[in-house]
Amino acid sequence: MGNVQRLDITGARDTVEVDGVLGVFYKIRVGGKALKRGKGGWDIPMRKGAASKLSARGLVPGFQKFYLDGEPIYAMGAYVDVAMRVLMFLPLVLIVLNPLVGLVLAVILFFMNVSVVKNPQMPRPVRIILPIGNTLAGGLVLFLLAGLLR
């Protein structure tokens, strides 16, 4: 699986792709050209004249679902099980250790974990161990910073 996923939209004037499906941020491309998001989503030009509306919904970054005129057509990260999705949020524990620096570090590590967990080419044990290791390393950094600032 690459970082570009072709969307199966019958009747589209050209190929519609999502670029960046393995990460957090993505682009919608039609015929290789990136579309700008308008109000409510992206307008997909159709062969029969009228444009269809492609929209994305979802709270967790990188795990949005795409809908074409209200019908679901693709879910990013649908292959990731619930346990790995929970592990992505593990760095939020760092906020308890240091609310300010821990928050910044937790957000950075969260975005790293999304990319790790969504990568199907990594073996499953690695996708489990890396979010835990990232959190432990972040905790160590906060511990060392607290010792230096005393």
Predicted TM-score of the model (pTM):
0.82
Three-state SS across the chain? Answer: CCCEEEECCCCECCCEEEECCCCCCCEEEECCEECCCECCEEEECECCCCCEEEEEECCCCCCCEEEECCEEEEECCCCCCHHHHHHHCHHHHHHHHCHHHHHHHHHHHHHHHHHHHHCCCCCHHHHHHHHHHHHHHHHHHHHHHHHHCC
User: What does each of the 150 residues of the chain score in pLDDT, given as a tens digit?
Assistant: 578 999 988 888 889 999 999 989 999 999 989 999 888 899 999 988 888 999 999 998 889 999 999 999 999 999 999 999 999 999 999 999 999 999 999 999 999 999 999 998 999 999 999 999 999 999 999 999 888 877
Which pLDDT belongs to residue 73?
A: 94
Which pLDDT belongs to residue 38?
A: 86
Which pLDDT belongs to residue 1?
A: 57
